[in-house]
Structure 1
Amino acid sequence: MFRLINRVVSSATRGLATVGVAAALVAVPRIASADTQIKMVLNWKYEGPQAWFFLAQDKGYFKAQGLDVQFDQGEGSGASIPKVAAGAYQAGFGDLNAIVELAAKEPAQAPIAVDVLYNTPPFAIVVKKDSPINTPKDLEGRTIGAPANDGALKLFPAFAKLAQIDISKVTVTNMAPNLREQMLQRGQVDAVFGYVTTVTFSAKAMGIDPSKKLRFIRYGDHGMDLYSNTVFFSRSFVKDQPEAVRGFLVALNHAIRDVIANPDAGVDAVMKREPLLKRDVEKEKLLATMRNDMSHPEIARIGLGDVDQARLKRDIAIVVDAAKLPRTPTPAEIFDGSFLPPRADRPSSL
C-alpha cells in the first residue's frame, strides 16, 4: 500500500446553450407529502456547479413537490457518503465510487445513488508543466498531495493498478484544500490529486494560467471510465419516502433545464448564498462542469442522470478489484434509476 503521511496543513480562511425546455416547464403535480424535510450535504463549498440545487430551492420547485429541502456545504466528494450513512443527512451529492466502497463493506448502511450528474470521470493527478513526471509510471518515488477526502485520492489504488504504478513507491500527503495548488507551485509536493475543473479554477484564482503552467494526468485516459458525482439518499429514506425522492428529482431536473437555458439565473442563486465569490469565475466554472463532467456521449441515448448498466458494472469491478474489497455489490445495490423523471423530460445534451 502507498505510504500516507498524515501531515495536515490547516488554514484559518478559505480561498475566496439553449435547449428545448417546454416539457420541463409544464406544471408537475405535487407527489410528496407536505412538509417532508430533506437535509442534504453537498460535495463542496458553495460554488457555481451547484447552481441547480439552489435554483430549485429559490424557484419553489422543491416546495411544489411538498418538500422542505435544506443544504449544507461539503468537505469533498467522498466525505458526503459517510455523513448520509450515519444518519446526519437524508441526502447527499458526492462520488458514486465511494458508495461502491461502502456498499462492499457495509451494504445495509450504504446510501443509494438515484441521479448520476457527473458521467465523465473528472479525476486527475496534476503536475507543473515543466515537471519530469510525464506518465503515470513517473509518479514512483514522488510525493503527491491532496485533501484527505479528495475523490481522486480515494481512487488512486485503482488507478495505480490499471496504470501499473508500484504504489509502495508513492508517498501521499494531506493538506487543507485551499493550499493544494500553492503547495504544488512551491514545490512542496511533486503532484496533487484533484478534479480537473476544481484544480483549474483554483489555479486561476491564484493568478496561474493552467493551460500554460499545469499538466493533467487524467484517470479516464488510462482505462478508468468511471462515473463520478451522484445525488444519493439514505437507504431508509428511499424505503420510507419513495415519493419524496421522486419529487426531489423532478424539481432538480426542472432546475437543471433552467440553468442550461439560462446559466446566469443559476449563478444568481449561487451568489445569493456566497456574495464574496467572483461571479464571472463561478459562471465559467459552471459551464466548464457542464461541458467536461456532465457531457458523456451516452446521455444522448439514456439522458442525463441515468447510467449504462454495463459501464456501471465495469466501474464497480474496477473499484472492488483495486481496493481489494470484501465483496462485489450488484449495480442494483448502487444505483436505482426508477425515481428519475421520464427519459423525454431529461436533457440529452448540455
Structure 2
Amino acid sequence: MKSLTRTVTAVALATALAVMSGCSSSDDSSDTKGNGKLEKVTYLTSFGNFGRDAYAWVAKEKKFFEEAGFDVDIKSGQGTGGNIDLVVAGKADFTPVDLTGALLKVGSTGKTGDFVAVAAIQQRTMAAIFSTEGSGISTPKDLEGKKIADTPGSVVRLLFPTYARLAGVDATKVDWPNGEASGLMGMLAGGSVHGIGQFVVGKPTVEAVTKKKAVMLPYSDVMTDLYGNVLITSSKLAKEKPDMVKRFTAALLKGLEHSLANPAEAGEILKKNEPTANPQSAAAELQLMDAFVKSAGSGAQVGALDTQRIARCIALLQGAGSIPAGLTPEKIIDFNLVPKA
C-alpha cells in the first residue's frame, strides 16, 4: 500500500504550489455571473497538453467559459495524485483525474471530504502501458524486469499494483523511473525506458514521436468496470458555490462535445495554445476518445455518473486488496452536482 500513497514527492508538490500560488478563485466567494465581471478560475489539464485534453482549450477558444461567466487560466497537469493535491490545497479550482486513481488515493490514506467529483469525462478507463515493437514487451508478464517511466502521481502508476495482481505480474520486478508528462514520449523514443504510462488514446502520438508501431497494454483488459477521468473540485468550493460549479461543468462539457464532433478543429486550437502539440495526432486522439466519453447503448448524458457502477468499482478494488472497506460512492461523488443521466 505504501506505493499508492507516494503520489507526488514533497519537492515536486512544493514547486507546483509555488508556481500556482495565488492563481485560484476559490478564496473569492462572490458569484460574478450576470454582473459583467468574469470570475477567475484555475483549471489543470489531466496530464500535459495532448489531444485528450484539448476540450478545455476549445471551451476557452469558443468562449463557452466566457459565456458562463469565467476567465479560465488553463495549466498543465501532472496526473491524478498531484492534481488532487493542488485542488485540495486551493491552488487550482477544477481538474480531471482518473476516478479509480482517486479512489486508490482516498482508500490508501483513509481520508475523504477534501474533494468531490462532479462529472464524468470518460465512461471507461483509458489507463494503459505503452511500448514499441522490438522492446520485448507484448504481454503483461513481459513487464517484469523492465523500466516503465511515468509521473509519480499518474493513475497508470497508482493503478499498477492492482493491474499487476489481476494480470499475473510480479509488481516488485517492474522498475518505475520518474518522468515529466511532457518528457515521457521522448524517454520512450530515446530508448532509456522500455515503456511509459499513457492513456489508450495516446497511440497516435506515441507512434508519431517514436516512429515505431506502438504496443499497448490497456488496463481495461483486466479491469472492465472502471470509469476514466472525472472532473473534480474542492469540497469547499462545491459546498459554498454549487451554482458556479454547475456552470463551469456545463461549459467544460460543451467544449468536450464540440471537440469530439470537430476533432480537426480541436487539434488546431490545441496547437494554437500549445506550440509543441501535433494537431493531427491530437485529432486522432479525440477520435479514439469518443467511444470512451459516450456511454455505449445507454443513452446516458455526457458527464453522468452511475452510483451502482462506482460501487462495483470500489468492490473490485477492495476485493483486490487495494483499498480498505468503508469507502462508498457518496464519499467521493457529489451527486447533487453531477449531470443527470
Q: Which residue of 2 aligns with 1:162?
A: 166
Q: Report which of the two structures shows the higher radius of gyration computed on alpha carbons.
A: 1
Q: Which residue of 1 aligns with 2:296?
A: 297
How many angstroms apart in 2 are the aligned matches of 1:266 and 1:333?
34
Matches within 5 A, 1:127-138: 127-138=131-142
2:106 to 59, 79, 103: 103
Counterpart code for 1:99: A
Matches within 5 A, 1:79-228: 79-104=82-107, 105=109, 107-184=111-188, 188-208=192-212, 210=213, 214-228=214-228
TM-score by length of structure 1 reads: 0.77
- The alignment covers a number of residue pairs equal to 313
How many angstroms apart in 2 are the aligned matches of 1:121 and 1:267?
22
Matches within 5 A, 1:202-281: 202-208=206-212, 210=213, 214-281=214-281
Whether the 8 Å CA contact 1:145–1:193 is kept in 2: the answer is yes
Q: Which residue of 1 aligns with 2:327?
A: 329
Q: Which residue of 1 aligns with 2:59?
A: 56
Q: Which residue of 2 aligns with 1:23?
A: none
Instruction: Decide whether aligned partners of structure 1 residues 66 and 2 sit closer, same or farther in structure 2, where only a CA change above 3 A counts.
Output: closer
How many angstroms apart in 1 are the aligned matches of 2:241 and 2:131?
45
CA RMSD of aligned residues (A): 3.1
Matches within 5 A, 1:10-29: none
State percent identity of aligned pairs.
26
How many angstroms apart in 1 are the aligned matches of 2:132 and 2:88?
37
Match of 2:177, SS state, is strand
Match of 1:302, SS state, is coil
Which runs of no fewer than 5 residues in structure 1 stay unpaired? 9-29, 344-350
How many angstroms apart in 2 are the aligned matches of 1:259 and 1:283?
9
Whether the 8 Å CA contact 2:141–2:168 is kept in 1: the answer is yes
Whether the 8 Å CA contact 1:33–1:67 is kept in 2: the answer is no
How many angstroms apart in 2 are the aligned matches of 1:247 and 1:218?
34
How many angstroms apart in 2 are the aligned matches of 1:319 and 1:140?
22
1:307 to 305, 308, 314: 305
How many angstroms apart in 1 are the aligned matches of 2:236 and 2:39?
14
TM-score by length of structure 2 reads: 0.79
Instruction: Decide whether aligned partners of structure 1 residues 324 and 264 sit closer, same or farther in structure 2, where only a CA change above 3 A counts.
Output: closer
Instruction: Decide whether aligned partners of structure 1 residues 70 and 280 sit closer, same or farther in structure 2, where only a CA change above 3 A counts.
Output: same
How many angstroms apart in 1 are the aligned matches of 2:247 and 2:123?
22
How many angstroms apart in 2 are the aligned matches of 1:237 and 1:49?
26
Q: CA deviation at 1:153?
A: 1.2
Which runs of no fewer than 5 residues in structure 2 stay unpaired? 10-30
Greater relative CO (CA pairs within 8 A, separation 6+): 1
Q: CA deviation at 1:121?
A: 1.8
Counterpart code for 1:294: V
Whether the 8 Å CA contact 2:79–2:155 is kept in 1: the answer is yes
Q: CA deviation at 1:216?
A: 1.5
Spell out, residue by residue over 1:299-326, the C-alpha distance to the aligned partner (whole angstroms, 9 max, x if none). Answer: x332221123222112223334546434
How many angstroms apart in 2 are the aligned matches of 1:267 and 1:143?
31
How many angstroms apart in 2 are the aligned matches of 1:191 and 1:56?
33
How many angstroms apart in 1 are the aligned matches of 2:315 and 2:47?
27
Instruction: Decide whether aligned partners of structure 1 residues 198 and 245 sit closer, same or farther in structure 2, where only a CA change above 3 A counts.
Output: same
Q: CA deviation at 1:133?
A: 4.0
